[in-house]
Structure 1
Amino acid sequence: MPNSPLPITHLHHIARVTSDPERSAAFYCQVLGFRPIKRPNFNFRGAWLLGYGVQIHIIERRSPAAPTSDEIDTRANHLAFAVDDHGPVLARLDALGIRYHQQVNAGGIPQIFFRDPDGHHIEIGIYPPHPPFIDDGPPA
């Protein structure tokens, strides 16, 4: 059945490569409220975090590379998290001195974009319920 959805039950984890796993783990815990969870004893540094029903696996980069720019690109690969109110997010980012870009996109969605210490983009949005499927078929 080529058009049948895969039997996926949920998103398990997102991996983030970093030159400084401790710094990145602290960022995701302090800024976004993730909590450390046990991780196998791999032969490289890293951390596993859990929050909002999804894990973030922080993985030490083999060869350190700094971000090429500090520009916030709203069209770059990014993680997106949903909130009901941007107020607490803005207060936290301001208190921590994290630079961000705030906008309302063409679909009317209020968004905040910022970067983690390794330059990975993060979006926080106030999203409506999921829109209907284009083909009215069953969800994946």
Structure 2
Amino acid sequence: MEYIGVHHVSLVVTELERAKHFYSNILGFNLIKRPNFDTEGAWYQIGNTQLHLIVYRKGKTFRGTTDLDRDDGHFAVQVEDIDAFIRHIKTLGVELLTVSNKEAGGERVYVSDPDGNLIEFKS
């Protein structure tokens, strides 16, 4: 069995427009066409991987908080320049947690979306 890579990550969100604002305008992810499903949602292309947001108003993240915690469940996005990303995200007023560890690949930051989904960014 040969694995090629991760095709997509799906996250539950409760308010689509709020989530789209965060992923489109704050993080700058590329919104792509989504098939017409019975449920609301949005798809993003991030390099070779897609992010699928699925509206489930009764849902909540496993975390249940927007607090930043590097040890909690999350997915990671690789960026070309972590310092540029940190400068950009700080200008938007987004709370972030910065962690440096050479053994784990250097500096990385964590942010939370409005529903509590945790995202790591690293170069």
Give the TM bin, normalised by the shorter chain.
Answer: 0.7 to 0.9
The DSSP-based 3-state class of the residue aligned with 2:103 is: coil
Runs of 4+ in 1 over 6 A off after TM superposition: none
Partner of 2:100: 104
Q: Greater strand share, 1 or 2?
A: 2
Letter in 2 for 1:58: L
2:113 matches 1:116 = yes
Q: TM-score, normalised by structure 2?
A: 0.84
The structure, 1 or 2, with the larger RCO (C-alpha pairs under 8 Å, 6+ apart) is 2
Quick one: distance in 2 between partners of 1:83 and 1:37?
A: 19
- Which residue of structure 1 lines up, in the alignment, with residue 2 of structure 2? 7
Structure 2 partner of 1:80: 76
More helix by share: 2
Q: Aligned partner of 1:53: which letter?
A: N
Which ranges of structure 1 fall in alignment gaps of 5 or more residues?
A: 1-5, 127-140
Cα RMSD for the two superposed structures: 2.0
Alignment of 1:1-140 (within 5 A): 6-65=1-60, 68-105=64-101, 107=103, 109-126=106-123
What count of residue pairs does the alignment treat as equivalent? 121
How far the C-alpha of 1:29 sits from its partner, in A, is 1.9
Long gaps (5+) in structure 2: none
